[in-house]
Structure 1
Amino acid sequence: MQTPRRVRELGVVVGALPTGPLNAITDVPGVLVGQTTIATDELNTGVTAIVPEGYALGLPAAVAVGNGYGKLIGTTQVDELGVLETPILLTGTLSTFRVADALLTWLLERNPTATSLNPIVGETNDGHLSDIRARPITPADVHAALNTVTSALPSEGCHGAGTGTTALGFKAGIGTASRTLPTGTVGVLVQANFSGLLTVSGVPVPAEPIDAEGNSCMIVVATDLPLDARQLGRVARRAMFALGRVGSDFAPGSGDYAIAFSTNRTPAYADRDLRGPFQAVTEATEEALLNSLTMARTTTGYRGRTAHAVSHSRIRDLLTTAGVLR
C-alpha cells in the first residue's frame, strides 16, 4: 500500500502561479472546511462542508454548469440573485436531499427569525463503492461536519464526500489547491467522480475502466478577490476547463458543476484584469483534481467492488519517459 501523497510531492508542478501556504481552499481567509466520513464494508460515503465566514450576510456567488445531469440544490436562486447565503455541502447522490434538510435544520437553529433560506448541496454518485440506496447520511453526520470546520488543510482522497468516489479509472475523492495573486487568493476544492483518461502534465496514464454509474464532478471555488457575481460566473466557467486538462471525457451522464463565491463584498475588479483569476482558477482546479487521485487509497466496498489508487511510481515513470520529469 503506497502512502497517499499530493501531486507536488511526486514532482509534478501544475502551472506557474504560486500556491498559498497550504495549497488549499482554506488559504482564502475566512473559508473553513469540515468533513464526516463513513467507511464500512458496504458504505463508503460522507459529507464535506465548505463554510465561508459571513455567509449569513450574503456573499457574491455564481454557478456554472458543464453538464446538468446532476443534483445541485439551490442553484436557481444563486443564478437569480448572485448571492450565496448558506454553507456549501457535498455528499452522495441519493443523500443530497437528506443533507439539505439537515443543513436547513442547522441554519434555522442559528437564525430563529428566518422564514426563507436557500441551502446549497451538491453531489456525485458514489454507488460503485457504497450502498447508495441506503441513504445512510443522518442529520448528526451533517451537523458533525458543520460543527468541526477548520482553516487547516482539508483531508483529501477518501474522506468526506469523496470517500466512495472514483475518477478516470482510479479511486479518487476530495482534492484541493490554491493560487495567489498580488490582489488576493483563489482556492478550489473538488469532489471528483468522472470518466475519461487520466492525463498528468499532458501525459496519459491509462487505467482499466470502472463500470460505475454516474460520472460527475463538483468544483467549489473560493476567493477574496473583489469580484461581483457576473465575474464569478466567468471564473466558475474557467474551472470547467481544467476537467479537460486532466482527461475528462465529459460523458453524457455526467453532472459537472462549479460554484464560485467571494468573501469580499465590495466588488471593484475590472474585467480587463480577469486574466490572473482565470489562470489561477484553472491551475488550482487542475491540481485539486490530481490531488484527489494521488491522495486516495485503494478501496474495497459495496458487494466487494474495488477501486485502485493510481500508482505514484507509474505516474513518475511515464512522466520521466515523456521528458516531463527528470
Structure 2
Amino acid sequence: MRIRELGVVPGVLPTGPLNAITDVPGVLVGQTTLATGELNTGVTAIVPPDFAAGLPAAVAVGNGYGKLVGSTQVDELGVVETPILLTGTLSVFRVADALLSWLLERNPTATSLNPVVGETNDGYLSDIRSRPITPDHVFAALDSASADLPAEGNVGAGTGTTALGFKAGIGTSSRRVGDGAAVEGGAASGGTVGVLVQANFSGTLTVLGTPIKPPVEKPAPEGNSCMIVVATDLPVDARQLGRVARRAVFAMGRVGSDFSPGSGDYAIAFSTNRAVPPIRDKALKDVFYATTEATEEALLNSLTMATTVTGYNGNTQYAVPEELIRSTAR
C-alpha cells in the first residue's frame, strides 16, 4: 500500500490528482523490470515534455559517490535536453549508450547530445556484474512512458534496491503550490511539484519522527545511494532549481538517512515552464515545502509499496511490515 493508505500523511500541502510526478503536465514515466531470481534490476525513464528544446534544470550532489552521466553539462548550462533514466550501477553506461541511440534516431541531424542517466547499486539482490540491461529494455521503458500513476516498489530501476533496513524501490509523490507566487509584473497561477525516487540507502527508517527498526536486523548492503528527480511546471530558472534540488536531498534526513560516506545521493530538478522572468526568490518558500514533503512521501512510498525479495546468491531483503507503519499513525 502507499503510505497514505496506511494512515500516514506526510506534510500539510495538498497533493496532485495522482500524487505522483506525472501530475506535472506533460511529464511521462516508463519502466522495464527484470525479476528472474538472480536478476532484480531494470530501467525507469522520466520523460519531460518538449525535452529536445531544452528545459531549465539543475543537479544537487549530497554525496558524489555515484555515477550520474551528463550531470556536468546540466550544471554548466542549466539545461536538460533528454529524458532522465535510472538503472543499476554497472548498467548505467549501457543505458546511456542506448538512450543516445534512441535520441539519434529521433534527431537525424544531431551531432551532440547529453544523455542523463543515474544509478544506485542493486548488487545485493541482483547479479550486477552481468550487466543485463540491453537497448531493448531501454527502448521499452522510453516507448511505454505515460502520464498514468507510475508503478512503485519493486519495479524498473527499483527492482533490486533496499533502503533503511527494508526492501525499497521506486516511489513518487506530488504537491500543489497555490496561487499568488509573486513574479515580476504579476502573480503566478500556482502549479505542481512532483518527485520520483530510486531509494537504496542506509539509516533507520523514520516515519513522522518515529524510528522503526527492522524485526530482523542485519548489516546494510554496500553501495547505498539515492536518486531523486524533481519536476515542476512553475516558472523557476536553473539557479533556483539548484536550490530546489538541494531541498530534495535534505528531505532524505526526514525518513532517517544516515548519509553514509559510501552513498551517492543526487537530485536533479527541472521545470517545464520557460517563462521569463521566473518567480521571485522570496516566493520559493512554498516550492521548498512542496519539494521536501513530496520527496519524503515518495521515499516512504518506495518502501511501503515494495515486497520481500530473495535474489542473487539467496540474499533476502524483507518488506517493511504494514503494522509497523500503521502504528505510527495511531
Short-chain TM bin:
over 0.9
2:309 equivalent in structure 1 = 299
2:257 equivalent in structure 1 = 248
In 2, distance between residues paired with 1:210 and 1:218?
22
In 1, distance between residues paired with 2:305 and 2:37?
21
Q: What SS class does the counterpart of residue 279 from structure 1 fall into? A: helix
Question: Percentage identity across aligned positions?
Answer: 77
Q: What SS class does the counterpart of residue 91 from structure 1 fall into? A: strand
Whether 2:276 is the aligned partner of 1:280: answer no
**CA deviation map 1:34-66 (0-9, x unaligned):** 000000110000000000111000000000000
In 1, distance between residues paired with 2:325 and 2:84?
33
Identify which of 166, 174, 182 aligns with 1:170: 166
In 1, distance between residues paired with 2:218 and 2:262?
15
Q: Which amino acid aligns with 1:288?
A: A
Runs of 5+ consecutive residues of structure 1 not aligned to the other structure: 320-324
In 1, distance between residues paired with 2:301 and 2:266?
18
Whether 2:205 is the aligned partner of 1:194: answer no
After the TM superposition, which residues 106-117 of structure 1 pair with which residues of structure 2 at under 5 Å, given as runs? 106-117=102-113
1:151 equivalent in structure 2 = 147
**CA deviation map 1:262-295 (0-9, x unaligned):** 0001142100100010000000000000000000
Identify which of 301, 314, 319 aligns with 1:309: 319
Runs of 5+ consecutive residues of structure 2 not aligned to the other structure: 179-189
2:28 equivalent in structure 1 = 32
Identify which of 77, 89, 95 aligns with 1:93: 89
In 2, distance between residues paired with 1:195 and 1:52?
30
Superposed displacement of residue 212, structure 1 = 1.0
Instruction: Say whether the 8 Å CA contact 1:158–1:172 is kept in structure 2.
Output: yes
In 2, distance between residues paired with 1:124 and 1:209?
20
**Greater mean alpha carbon deviation, residues 208-217 or residues 80-89:** 208-217
Whether 2:218 is the aligned partner of 1:218: answer no
Aligned pairs, how many?
316
Q: What SS class does the counterpart of residue 20 from structure 1 fall into? A: coil
Q: Structure 1 segments of 4 or more deviating over 6 A?
A: none
In 1, distance between residues paired with 2:315 and 2:76?
42
Instruction: Say whether the 8 Å CA contact 1:168–1:209 is kept in structure 2.
Output: no
Superposed displacement of residue 210, structure 1 = 4.1
Superposed displacement of residue 211, structure 1 = 3.6
